[in-house]
Amino acid sequence: QNMVYFCNPSKMKKYLINSPSSRSYTQRVFRQVHPADIPFPSFLKSPKTCSVFGVPMVYGQPNHGTDYGPQMLRKFGLRGELEELGWTVRDNGDIAIDPPHENDPKPDSLLSGKTKNCYNVGKVCQAVHELTFYAASEGNFALTLGGDHSIGAGTVAGILKARPNTGVIWVDAHADINTPELSTSGNMHGMPVAFLTRLVEPTLFPGWDWLESTPPLHPAQLVYIGLRDVDPAERKILKDLGITCFTMQHVDRYGIAGVMERTFDQLYGRPLHCSYDIDAVDPLHAPSTGTAVRGGLTFREAHYLVEAVSGTGQLGSLDMVEVNPGLGSESENKETVEMALALIDSAMGSRIL
């Protein structure tokens, strides 16, 4: 069976040094962090504490490299910058993930090829949901570093278990709401929202029965921002469920400020979780990601989004996913990691003034 457990970050040292994608990361572009007086969520405890979990998940999609994301964000200064912003940091290291095995349980033969690495992804998400539930139940901010976006099924499930009224802001170029029957690729990083909203029956898929013990994500609790590459079947699902979606066309029409105002109207009064796929950002600013699509959020739009969310005083958890230092050149990888880290800083309270 797949084993999922915590490992000490120091034990990852050899892995990181030997990784060709991380070998050249010896310097980083200087970037200032400016603490600001922003509202603090009433449902989090004081002193403000951030529980960090690395989930080096790669099996929800076909590209190697997303497993390097969590350690690269740490290497570039995550802990120091969070502490500079006034957070007490509890870095729990990375979850260690065994690869899929041939003898892993598989779903019905008709769906087996439609859910690649189903059992592995499900068990990892189960562990992630337990960890985020514990952090949220303790009154801590839960910061999850991916890894591919399949882990969003685990983070959101854990947060909903602790705070069932949470509103979810899914920032992504893609809707990630394909069902196994409708998926053309079988890659599970394109399915987490389908599992969360129960478009998929968890008990039919090995490794996913745990999801039944968590509250489903109601369409009224979900807002998408940044969509621009949506499969035909997903378009129908989004319309049928009446989910609030702000595509890049809406960003063009209303401006990012207008999009955020409408988002907060939809989710008013709820604790907030932001699941941020770096591919929502235009590849000009974040090129090292597996499913890059032109026409994304600009540098400032990407920052304003998380600044606005944290400015509500309701943000209690954040995912940063699909950073893939294994795909681009050294400069592209560095730029992408820097962008992701800067967005985390903005979500955690950094401002220009």
Where in the sequence numbering do the catalytic residues fall? 149, 172, 174, 176, 189, 277, 279, 322
* Residues 148 and 58: beta-carbon distance below 8 Å: yes
Q: 194 φ, ψ to 5°? A: -65, -40
Helix (H) or strand (E) holding 195: helix 192-196
- Three-class SS of residue 247? strand
DSSP labels for 49-86?
EEEEEEE---TTSS-TTGGGHHHHHHHTTHHHHHHHTT
Q: 291 φ, ψ to 5°? A: -130, 55
Tokens encoding 290: 């597996």
Cα separation, 158 vs 128, in Å, equals: 7
CB atoms within 10 A of CB 146: 34
DSSP labels for 283-338?
TTT---STT--SS-B-HHHHHHHHHHHHHTT-EEEEEEE---TTTS-HHHHHHHHH
Burial status of residue 32 (CB atoms within 10 A of its CB: 0-12, 13-18, 19 or more):
exposed
Pairing of strands 88-97, 4-7: antiparallel
